[in-house]
A = this chain, B = another copy of it.
Amino acid sequence: MALAAGMRVRARALLRAGARLRGAALGRPEPAAGGGDGARRFTNLRVLVEPDPAAGVAVMKLKNPPVNSLSLELLTELVISLEKLENDKAFRGVVLTSDRPGVFSAGLDLTEMCGRNPAHYAEYWKAVQELWLRLFLSNMVLVAAINGACPAGGCLMALTCDFRVLASNPKFAIGLNETLLGIVAPFWFKDTLVNTIGHRASEHALQLGLLFPPAEALQVGIVDQVVPEDQVQSTALSVMARWMAIPDHARQLTKAMMRKATADRLIKQRDADIQNFVSFISRDSIQKSLQTYLEKLKQKKG
């Protein structure tokens, strides 16, 4: 047996950043507590939180039609929802899933990165960073119940969880496919992937923008379990029960020990990372690529 005093996640600094983000980003009051089943239930516009205080678990469902794009508003609501649960001692675990089976999340919202001004790009990127830090360093157990397609930013969210359950539908592929759009996953996306599937598989997957269907996803290790579509959430809750059996303090210190170095790489250069993003996304060539891509998407729908 062995033990050691672990490291502490700078929770307070993160909370302050979250507060600033919330105010600056939307300038609107906090979502009202709502719902009919007790004081703890609260429904945001784009994040549906279904609490089970007896079990200590909340199911958090993304609800941003049509494809759960990570708009600035969704990012902000996600951070607020996580913060609330993190600060409520009744909750020790969160199952992250989609309210719309078929799409877990399509990832970052292209319309936030196209035809806006640099200040907007900077605000948006800061919100993306904030969500990643919140999820990646959460003291709660996070289990992803991936009940739909899970590319790019959707995959990033899943990778921050402690365990990933994917529906066996071969249409539901998962991966960081940024290069297919002519763009590049930032280093902290890459680090999260390398931690999960190793260096070689990451180099291969990131260069080719690979999206892994369920069987391949399980084999490469980007998900931990594949189950029939109608069992994704129940399996996630069973997995959660096993994790909840571990003493919180020891588990949290262990998680922080495993993740601190990776998180610190971004924390130490958040501003530079934002500047990099703004400078990259503002290029004419990138703006044109995104514009073309968005127009194609519109034509498909029309």
Contacts from A to B (Cβ < 8 Å): 1-6, 107-108, 110, 113, 128, 151-153, 156, 162-163, 176, 178-187, 189-190, 194-200, 202-204, 206-209, 221, 224, 242-243, 246-247, 249-251, 253-255, 257-259, 273, 276-277, 279-281, 286
Contacts of A199 in B (CB 8 A): 194-196, 198, 258
Does A187 contact B4, Cβ atoms closer than 8 Å?
yes
Does B185 contact A4, Cβ atoms closer than 8 Å?
yes
Protomer copies? 3
Main secondary structure of the interface of A (DSSP, over half): helix
Does B251 contact A179, Cβ atoms closer than 8 Å?
yes
Within the complex, the shortest CB–CB distance from A260 to chain B, in Å, comes to 10
Within the complex, the shortest CB–CB distance from A272 to chain B, in Å, comes to 10
Within the complex, the shortest CB–CB distance from A57 to chain B, in Å, comes to 16
Does B246 contact A185, Cβ atoms closer than 8 Å?
no
Does A254 contact B179, Cβ atoms closer than 8 Å?
yes
- What are 23 sample pairs from A and B whose C-beta atoms fall under 8 A apart? A1-B151, A2-B176, A3-B185, A3-B186, A4-B184, A4-B277, A5-B279, A162-B204, A178-B250, A178-B254, A179-B250, A180-B247, A181-B250, A182-B249, A183-B250, A184-B250, A195-B199, A206-B257, A206-B258, A207-B243, A207-B254, A207-B258, A208-B246
With most chain B CB atoms within 10 A of its CB, the pick from A179, A180, A209 is A179
Contacts of A179 in B (CB 8 A): 246-247, 250-251, 254
Contacts of A224 in B (CB 8 A): 204
Query: CB-nearest residue of chain B relative to A163?
Result: B204
Does A1 contact B183, Cβ atoms closer than 8 Å?
yes
Contacts of A277 in B (CB 8 A): 3-5
